[in-house]
Amino acid sequence: MFSRTNMINASPERVFAVLTDLDRAREWMPTIQKIDGLTPGPFQVGTSWREVRLAGKRTLESTVRVASLDRPSRLGLEVDSKPMAGHMAFNLLPKGGATEVHYEAEMQGKGLFRLMSGTMNRMMAETDSDLLDRLKTEVEGHP
């Protein structure tokens, strides 16, 4: 498991709105190549989408599902792909006109990839090391 924490100069509602806007996700997450919604209707528990993202020199297709949602303070996601599955969570805490965002993720390899779970988590931690910085730039740069 790995985690990151950052302060964003915006309300939790504003940060949460950006986190849950799938149409804007590619703007601040450059590894995402494509997102296709799988469930119609509002963003809620059970909402799912298929996403294609760069993973090193390869592409990885995953299904992502909203596992928990407590607007505007928590978003929990489950990720499932051929080689791995796992979870990600964003916790938002108001702090004097800003928002402290805590992000954590843990992936487990499937089948023979289970032996590579540690490597997968290290690679994801490296890829997502600046995730909250990119979120901060997106939120603060677009009022």
pLDDT band, residue 56 (cuts 50/70/90):
confident
Q: Comparing C-alpha atoms, which of 53, 73, 71, 72 is closest to residue 62? A: 53
- The CATH number corresponding to 2-141 among 3.40.50.720, 3.40.50.300, 1.10.10.10, 3.30.530.20 equals 3.30.530.20
pTM given for the model:
0.88
DSSP of the chain, one letter per residue?
-EEEEEEESS-HHHHHHHHT-GGGHHHH-TTEEEEEE-S-SSS-TT-EEEEEEEETTEEEEEEEEEEEEETTTEEEEEEEESSEEEEEEEEEEEETTEEEEEEEEEEEE-GGGGGGHHHHHHHHHHHTTTHHHHHHHHHHH--
Average pLDDT, the chain: 89
Residue-wise pLDDT for 4-18, tens only, equals 999 999 999 999 999
Q: Comparing C-alpha atoms, which of 103, 53, 94, 52 is closest to residue 75? A: 103
Going from N- to C-terminal start, the domains of the chain cover: 2-141
Residue-wise pLDDT for 60-76, tens only, equals 899 999 999 999 999 99
